[in-house]
Amino acid sequence: MCLYDTMYYFYPEQRNEFLVLASTFLCCMKDYEKFKQLVLQGATLYMPQLSLDCVIFGFHEGQLKVLLLKMRNLQEWALPGGFIYRQEALEVAASRILKERTGLDNIFLQQFHIFSDPTRSDTSKAIHHFSFADLSIDSSHWLAQRFISVGFYALVDFTRVTPQADELTDTCQWYDLENIPPLMMDHRHILDKALETLRIQLNYQPIGMSLMPEQFTMPELQKLYETILGVTLDRRNFQRKILGYHILKRREVRRTGVAHKSPYLYSFDEKQYQQALQDGLHKW
């Protein structure tokens, strides 16, 4: 009789607790096996000394947010990232990593910079991070080498994302842009560069449509622009300008449950929006 049968027949009152513990144990074992494969076989699976770092932006309750990971064995947080399989295109690898972290397909994704500072990789922390249980690495290991990273930024609908950790992380969660915790390596620089790019491309990429929910109010859209740009925009001028592009459809319904007069809901006219982006929206 196996352990499960023993618990099932002789300890029925602890059955649920046992199932939870067994499930947790199996998940840990699966994570460990994935980790072990990464450490022992990664040099043959992945492109050497090349990685991806993804800045995933979301917008919720008037705040621009960034998805971050808490790395195991380290105090700092990190941007989601990973390695590129030897027969995999960069964009395919980035989409794969994003799906693993958010659960979403067809995410707006843009490559924005290459990070190649020779000092960006901290070998000692890499050795500490990737060494636990019966595994260990030294300075000659592939994970402890200098890595050049390709930066991508992604725009997602916050309400559709289910943050997911993996075998190398303890947790994966959103942080307000104004309250970013200490980040490992040069990840703060990567984040700042992504935000700088986002501001530049606000007039040329479908940023609003990618970050906003399907329906939204004019004040919510204005808040998105203000948060990205880091400035306060005049309400009347913003509304006149954004409506002048003919990229919004006003719904004949209003937002309920607000303190003041209920504002109308809007959605993007995707065809008109894409045409406006091709023509180039005027700078804010």
Q: Could you state, in chain order, the average pLDDT of each consecutive group of 10 residues for the chain (284 residues)? A: 40 41 40 75 89 95 93 84 94 92 87 94 66 68 87 93 81 94 95 95 84 91 92 93 89 70 87 79 58
Query: For the purposes of burial, counting CB atoms within 10 Å of the CB of 90, is it exposed (0-12), middle (13-18) or buried (19 or more)?
Result: middle
According to the model, what pLDDT value does residue 189 have? 97
Residues of the chain with CATH 3.90.79.10: 27-201
Can you tell me the distance from the alpha carbon of 144 to that of 49, in angstroms, rounded to the nearest whole number?
9
Candidates 103, 74, 251; CA nearest to 165 is: 103
Task: Enumerate the CATH 1.10.10.10 domain ranges in the chain, comma separated.
Answer: 214-279
- What was the pLDDT predicted at 8? 39
Length of the chain measured in residues:
284
CATH T-level topology, domain 27-201: Nucleoside Triphosphate Pyrophosphohydrolase (3.90.79)
- Architecture of domain 214-279 in CATH? Orthogonal Bundle (1.10)
For residue 162, the SS3 value is coil
pLDDT of residue 270: 86
pLDDT score for 34: 73
Confidence (pLDDT) at 38: 78
Place of tokens 């000659």: 140
Q: Which residue has the tokens 């019966």?
A: 134
196 alpha-carbon distance from chain centroid: 17
Provide the whole-model pTM: 0.79
**Residue 282 in tokens:** 């005027």
Distances (CA, A) of 247 to 59, 242, 268: 20, 8, 6
Per-residue model confidence (pLDDT) at position 278: 76
| Spatial separation of the C-alpha atoms in residues 42 and 142, rounded to whole Å | 8
Q: What is the CA radius of gyration of the chain?
A: 23
* pLDDT reported for residue 31: 64
